[in-house]
């Protein structure tokens, strides 16, 4: 069903727009369809879905190797960093991603690599090295990480991660849509269209916003942050608060113009209703 809906959507959109890149989850049938029916579109995976698969595999390994728990968070962050900093280079992405296996055993220089020769972090102090629970090349934790790093499905997925595509902005848009179209409230079709258009206007006017600053008090001019505790991260995170732009309301909703548009819409709709009635009566 997902494959068929996506195929119809792409055929419809391709008639008016040129699609260069499409990011999806790791659906096997979708990938096969993209290769056969839409080879001109660059198909990428959402990095979040691949990261989720890696974490799942690591978590399964912890049943026999509890020490692995200490490395799951670091491996997850390293994976995201590797994808974000590869600059579209698949070989560089592979070398960065696989370097975490050496980092786990306190090795930070890689002479055998062609492009990535050393860890990007600062040299660790003696205190930092003592606090870290390093693995050993012969330990079960090392072999567990090695199995996942060189897993065939993960390695194959790296080919579709070079452009660092993720649906974070889309999720933000869907979250904002709930303010205009709450799921627990019923709207007519016309109401849904209007509310969706409002959400799209709000979203488009607020892309690329600067971080908000404090306007009063002793912290005047300081950047604003919001402290959140995401369930997946299980730790406190400081998120920047962007400055909200509401200028689209004044620019697009001139009352006299809106009234004239509403009248014109009502006339057109009434004419369509009359034509439909006449068609039904005269067959």
pLDDT at 1: 66
Give me the helices (H) in 113-254, please. 126-131, 140-149, 152-157, 168-180, 189-205, 247-252
Q: SS3 helix, strand, coil % of the chain, rounded to 5?
A: 55, 10, 35
pTM of this structure:
0.75
Helix 189-205 and helix 168-180, axial crossing angle in degrees, nearest 10: 130
pLDDT at 227: 79
Residue pair 51/72 in contact (Cβ under 8 Å)? The answer is no
With the CA atoms of 36, 41, 47 and 48 taken in that order, what torsion angle do they form, in degrees rounded to the nearest 10? -80
Tokens for 155?
């390695």
Residue pair 248/239 in contact (Cβ under 8 Å)? The answer is no
Tokens for 107?
């090795």
- Residue 8's contacts (CB-CB under 8 Å, 6 or more residues apart) are none
pLDDT at 279: 47
Q: Where are the domains of the chain?
A: 46-160, 167-207, 210-252, 258-283
Per residue in 81-101, pLDDT (tens digit) is 999 999 999 999 999 999 999
Write out the chain's pLDDT in tens, 283 residues: 678 889 998 988 888 888 999 999 898 899 999 999 999 999 999 999 999 999 999 999 888 888 888 899 899 999 999 999 999 999 999 999 999 999 999 999 998 999 999 999 998 888 888 888 888 888 899 999 999 999 999 999 999 999 999 888 888 888 889 988 998 889 898 889 888 988 888 888 888 778 888 877 777 778 878 877 776 666 787 878 787 777 767 666 655 555 455 555 555 555 555 545 554 555 4
pLDDT at 97: 96
Exposure string for 132-145, b = 16+ CB within 10 A, e = fewer? eebbeeebebbebb
pLDDT at 120: 92
CA distance 78 to 119: 11
Count the alpha carbons within 13 Å of 209 in the hemisphere toward its beta carbon. Answer: 18
């Amino acid at each position: 069903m997902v494959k068929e809906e996506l195929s119809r959507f792409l055929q419809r959109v391709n008639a008016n727009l040129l699609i260069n890149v499409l990011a999806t989850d790791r659906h096997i049938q979708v990938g096969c369809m993209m290769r056969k029916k839409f080879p001109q579109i660059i198909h990428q995976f959402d990095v979040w879905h691949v990261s989720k698969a890696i974490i799942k595999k690591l978590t399964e390994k912890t049943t026999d190797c509890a020490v692995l728990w200490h490395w799951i968070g670091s491996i997850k962050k390293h994976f995201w960093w590797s994808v974000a900093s590869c600059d579209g280079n698949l070989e560089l992405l592979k070398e960065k991603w696989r370097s975490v296996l050496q980092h786990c055993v306190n090795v930070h220089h890689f002479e055998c690599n062609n492009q990535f020769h050393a860890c990007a972090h600062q040299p660790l102090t003696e205190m930092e090295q003592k606090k870290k629970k390093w693995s050993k090349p012969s330990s079960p934790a090392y072999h567990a990480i090695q199995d996942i790093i060189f897993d065939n499905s993960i390695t194959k997925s790296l080919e579709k991660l070079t452009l660092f595509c993720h649906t974070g902005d889309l999720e933000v848009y869907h979250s904002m849509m709930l303010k205009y179209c709450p799921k627990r409230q019923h709207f007519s079709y016309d109401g849904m269209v209007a509310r969706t258009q409002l959400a799209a206007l709000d979203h488009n006017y607020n892309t690329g916003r600067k971080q908000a600053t404090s306007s009063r008090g002793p912290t005047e001019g300081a950047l604003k942050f919001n402290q959140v505790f995401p369930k997946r991260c299980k730790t406190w995170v400081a998120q920047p608060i962007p400055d909200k732009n509401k200028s689209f309301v004044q620019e697009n909703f001139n009352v006299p113009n809106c009234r004239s548009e509403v009248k014109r819409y009502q006339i057109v709709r009434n004419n369509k209703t009359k034509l439909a009635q006449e068609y039904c009566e005269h067959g």
